[in-house]
Structure 1
């Protein structure tokens, strides 16, 4: 998914993101603004993943939610 589109539709995708990363707070997800770098950083920190793993997970999330 185009990252500009993901950022623009982030508010609509928050519910699915909360399901995918339940340990992240609503506030953290809102502040991420649909940006891959911010979201990957939060996932990396909260779940103890490498930066590469977190970015891959976020990209897959956006790719699987193209219907938004």
Structure 2
């Protein structure tokens, strides 16, 4: 999975689903997932998860609203 093949709105929906389901723990889940993917050698997928983690952090900090993809 590469981020250039994933529409931003899909990434945002996935990030919001993680945030809604796991709250602040979603960051730890993303970190664990990135680490596991790197260990298994799936570096492109780990990079995609880094992008997801970045968006997730913005969501949890209130920088991205649910109805807007604008980062403030």
Task: With the length of structure 2 as denominator, give the TM-score of the two structures.
Answer: 0.35
Compare relative contact order (CA 8 Å, sep 6+) and give the higher one, 1 or 2: 2
Bigger-Rg structure (1/2) = 2
TM-score by length of 1: 0.37
